[in-house]
């Protein structure tokens, strides 16, 4: 029954996606609004199919239906309930099902959000692109990645169980889900970018309409990457959190492009500049999610993160990646003349100048990681030789870029648009600069040494003080305006400062942990003690344990009298899996592992000890960054207030490029009075951003329903 229901769900999703594509295509090319109006219904069919298939798979896992090959390979009767649930994304076919489920959810949200504008060609093209992507992933499940294949012959009585690393920590329930919410979320802005290019609607309105989708996708991906680092730290037993593993890099690459886009899109909304660049970043971000899927699911990489038995879908993923890149690049070249902005950056010492340099740095960062990830694959394909690019390459290339990014994080928020007077810049940077000097002086006074970490602490202090300065100014402005205090922390600008603070916290934690960590291994007899980094470590022996899904030896190690229990676990098919014990605090982590212990547990053992400062700050900073992104998606107080006829001190976007030749309206969408005059439905021709905020048109409402002068 589970197999039948699952196959029906996959078929429903695939048929709905394909029919939706056909209906939209016919409606667009024959100019039949009635067809376009019915097309969003396909989104509900896709969602229904994904939910049905997911429910069938989860029921099969929880009921241990070993007649399904996927369940037999990734589940066992002794598997705990939590890890039975997470077994759906513990292997190739289930991970594709999770991707399809998340994508179906996004498509349903888009269809409902823009249901009143379904006949608009731009929205129709965006929906068509989303449905094409859905059809591809449902097609994978209908073919080479079918999760509902039944075992040949009699069903086994007991399954093999999931990989040991996928049933050893609760983070398996969160890291993949957040990662997929981020990966798949970039489909929406990519689809609207393609729609804008095809229809020639190249104003800034569609950027505003998809801003929150991009922010949410970026926030989910940020949290997913941080949770992945935490998971690695918790379960792999090596004491690290980032190893520049190719699969880790595959998650980082779209995050870098998304981060660059979120910065540079403000320049386009404000000044009408960087149109080609922003479209390229969106296409690159989505393309890199497909490339990452190929790297992790094609079998070309051997990694603890990768699926090694999945070569059958590699060609399909690589072909889809090539089609996405070719389509995006081709559309940009096709619209090249109309994408050129009339204006230019007036001065390099301006906010748009800082954002441009910031983007170039992110592009360099992305290129460094991309080369380090794919170059060994090319060498292996050409020469049949294995090549490994390790940490020294990344450190030598990435660290300077990281320092430069911290610098522009400090300078960018205090710079005005267009041009900064030297006196203004000095006054705004004085407190952050002196804060950085004071932090470095205090570090040296307390015995901290090392040029690189001291420079990181100092630059992070400057960036953090700059972000705090902006938040304090926003809080004062909110108080003077009589708005609630919490309004000072929402909106794109203020939420962005919270993001900056989170990145600063991560940078400080990473610099401290990697620069001042110590590790050692001790051969210790039962009852023996050693002194290490100011702490007394005593080995109290080990004893056997047995649980339904695992057995092994658990050690007893005392750190200054506190007991910790590192273990060696044996799972079905997986022996000798180390489970570290971690004494974690805001100041330092003591990371303990046990190995080479006798079967009785009464003999000597090898105790690994790693002392790393400020590791907890990485997790705090990551959560802060994701939370800041969510705050940035909340409308600020100015956007909620309609000042009919009120004259703003500055009309954002008035100086942006002149118009879209397809519509005859200005790229900014503002009239001489500063009110919206664009007629490009459903999206305003442009919207400003920055210190004064932005004009944002609700794509679900016609212009006549929007209050005049609504500002962010």
Residue 681 included in any domain: no
* pTM: predicted TM-score of the whole model, two decimal places: 0.86
Q: Phi first, then psi: what are they for 680, rounded to 5°?
A: -85, 100
C-beta atoms surrounding 477 within 10 Å: 15
* Separation between Cα atoms, residue 137 and residue 133, nearest integer Å: 7
**Phi, psi dihedrals of residue 527, rounded to the nearest 5°:** 90, -10
Whether 499 and 405 map to the same domain: the answer is: no
Q: Mark whether 320 and 422 lie in a shared domain.
A: no
User: Is 255 in the same domain as 289?
Assistant: yes
Q: Alpha helices of 412-541 — where are they, by DSSP H?
A: 422-445, 451-480, 492-516
Give yes or no: residues 382 and 449 share one domain.
no
Residue 652 has pLDDT above 70, yes or no: no
**Lowest mean pLDDT across 450-464, 535-549, 553-567, 657-671:** 657-671
Task: Using the predicted structure, report yes or no on whether residue 610 has a pLDDT greater than 60.
Answer: yes
Q: Are 253 and 367 members of one domain?
A: yes
Per mean pLDDT, which range of 102-116, 295-309, 529-543 is the poorest? Answer: 295-309
Question: 3-state secondary structure string, 565-588?
Answer: CCEEEEECCEEEEEECEEEECCCE
Give a yes or no: residue 695 inside a domain.
Answer: no
109 inside domain: yes
| Mean pLDDT, range 260-269, rounded to an integer | 87
Could you tell me if 204 and 73 lie in one domain? Answer: no
Verify that 104 and 212 share a domain, yes or no. Answer: no
Listed residues 415, 432, 459: the one ending a domain: 415
Q: Please tell me whether residues 522 and 476 are part of one structural domain.
A: no
Question: How many domains is the chain partitioned into structurally?
Answer: 4
What's the whole-number average pLDDT of the chain? 83
- Summarize pLDDT for 545-596 with one digit per residue, the tens: 888 888 889 999 999 989 999 999 888 777 778 889 998 888 899 999 998 8
Q: Which residues of 255-292 are buried (b: 16+ CB within 10 A; e: fewer)?
A: bbbbbbbbbbbbbbbbbbbbbbbbbbbbbbbbbbbbbb
Residue appearing with tokens 């899996």? 577
319 and 187 within one domain = yes
Residue pLDDT, tens place only, 671-709: 333 333 333 344 544 333 333 333 333 333 333 333 323
> 131 and 12 in one domain?
yes
Q: Is residue 662 part of a domain?
A: no
Residue 663 in any domain: the answer is: no
Residue 461 token pair: 């202090």
In total, the chain counts a number of residues equal to 712
Pairwise pLDDT comparison (479 vs 316), residue with the higher score: 316
363 plus 422 within the same structural domain: no
Which has the minimum average pLDDT: 476-480, 511-515, 535-539, 640-644?
A: 640-644
Does residue 4 share a domain with residue 150? yes
Q: Identify whether the C-beta of residue 74 lies closer than 8 Å to the C-beta of residue 13.
A: no
Any residues with CB less than 8 A from the CB of 109 and at least 6 apart, and which?
Answer: none
Q: Which residue has the higher pLDDT, 58 or 711?
A: 58
Containing structural domain, residue 630: 416-515+619-636
Of 528, 522, 525, whose CA–CA distance to 606 is shortest? 522
What is the structure's pLDDT at 634?
80
């Amino acid at each position: 029954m589970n197999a039948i229901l699952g196959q029906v769900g996959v078929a429903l999703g695939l048929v709905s996606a394909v029919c939706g594509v056909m209906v939209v295509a016919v409606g667009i090319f024959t100019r039949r609004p009635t067809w376009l109006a019915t097309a969003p219904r396909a989104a509900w069919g896709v969602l229904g199919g994904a939910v049905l298939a997911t429910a069938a798979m989860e029921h099969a896992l929880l009921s241990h239906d070993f007649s399904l090959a996927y369940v037999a390979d990734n589940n066992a009767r002794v598997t705990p309930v939590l890890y039975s649930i997470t077994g759906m994304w513990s292997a190739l076919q289930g991970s594709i099902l999770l991707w399809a489920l998340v994508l179906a959810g996004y498509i349903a949200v888009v269809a409902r959000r823009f249901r009143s504008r379904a006949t608009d060609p731009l929205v129709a093209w965006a929906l068509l692109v989303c449905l094409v992507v859905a059809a591809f992933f449902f097609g994978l499940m209908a073919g080479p990645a079918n999760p509902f294949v039944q075992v040949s012959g009699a069903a086994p009585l007991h399954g093999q169980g999931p990989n040991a690393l996928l049933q050893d920590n609760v983070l398996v329930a969160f890291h993949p889900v957040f990662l997929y919410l981020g990966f798949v979320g970039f489909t929406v802005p990519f689809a609207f970018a393609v729609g804008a290019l095809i229809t020639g609607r190249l104003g800034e309105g569609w950027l505003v309409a998809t801003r929150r989708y991009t922010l949410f996708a970026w926030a989910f991906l940020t949290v997913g990457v941080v949770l992945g680092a935490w998971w690695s730290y918790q379960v792999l037993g090596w004491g690290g959190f980032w190893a520049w593993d190719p699969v880790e890099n595959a998650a980082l690459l779209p995050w870098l492009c998304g981060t660059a886009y979120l910065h540079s899109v403000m320049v386009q909304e404000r000044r009408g500049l960087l149109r080609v660049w922003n479209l390229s970043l969106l296409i690159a971000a989505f393309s890199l999610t497909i490339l990452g899927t190929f790297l992790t699911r094609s079998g070309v990489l051997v990694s603890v993160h990768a699926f090694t038995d999945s070569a059958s879908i590699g060609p399909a993923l690589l072909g889809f990646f090539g089609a996405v890149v070719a389509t995006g690049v081709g559309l940009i070249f096709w619209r090249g003349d109309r994408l050129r902005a009339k204006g230019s950056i007036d001065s390099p010492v301006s906010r748009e100048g800082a954002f441009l340099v910031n983007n170039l740095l992110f592009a360099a960062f992305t290129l460094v990681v991309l080369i380090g990830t794919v170059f060994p694959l090319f060498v292996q394909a050409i020469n049949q030789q294995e090549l490994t690019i390790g940490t020294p390459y990344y450190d030598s290339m990435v660290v300077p870029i990281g320092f430069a990014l911290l610098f522009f994080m400090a300078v960018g928020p205090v710079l005005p648009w267009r041009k900064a007077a030297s006196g203004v810049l000095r006054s705004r940077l004085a407190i952050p600069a002196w804060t950085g000097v004071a932090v470095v002086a205090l570090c040296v006074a307390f015995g901290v040494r090392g040029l690189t970490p001291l420079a990181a602490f100092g630059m992070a202090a400057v960036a953090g003080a700059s972000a705090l300065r902006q938040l304090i100014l926003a809080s004062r402005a909110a108080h003077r305006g009589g708005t609630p205090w919490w309004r000072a922390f929402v909106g794109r600008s203020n939420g962005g400062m919270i993001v900056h603070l989170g990145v600063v916290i991560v940078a400080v934690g990473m610099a401290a942990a990697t620069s001042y960590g110590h590790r050692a291994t001790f051969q210790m007899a039962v009852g023996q003690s050693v002194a290490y980094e100011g702490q007394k470590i005593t080995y109290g022996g080990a004893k056997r344990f047995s649980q339904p899904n695992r057995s092994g030896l658990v050690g007893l190690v005392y750190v200054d009298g506190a007991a910790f229990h590192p273990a060696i676990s044996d799972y079905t098919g997986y022996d000798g899996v180390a489970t570290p014990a971690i004494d974690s605090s805001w100041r330092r982590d003591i990371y303990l592992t046990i190995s080479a212990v006798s079967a009785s547990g009464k003999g000597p053992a090898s105790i690994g000890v790693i002392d790393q400062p400020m590791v907890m700050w990485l997790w705090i900073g990551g959560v802060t960054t994701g939370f800041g992104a969510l705050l940035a998606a909340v409308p600020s107080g100015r956007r909620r207030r309609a000042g009919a006829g009120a004259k703003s001190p500055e009309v954002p976007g008035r100086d942006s490029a002149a118009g879209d030749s397809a519509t005859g309206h200005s790229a900014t969408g503002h009239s001489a009075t500063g009110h919206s005059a664009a007629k490009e439905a459903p999206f305003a021709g442009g919207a400003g951003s920055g210190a004064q905020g932005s004009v944002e048109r609700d794509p679900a409402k016609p212009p006549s329903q929007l209050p005049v002068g609504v500002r962010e």
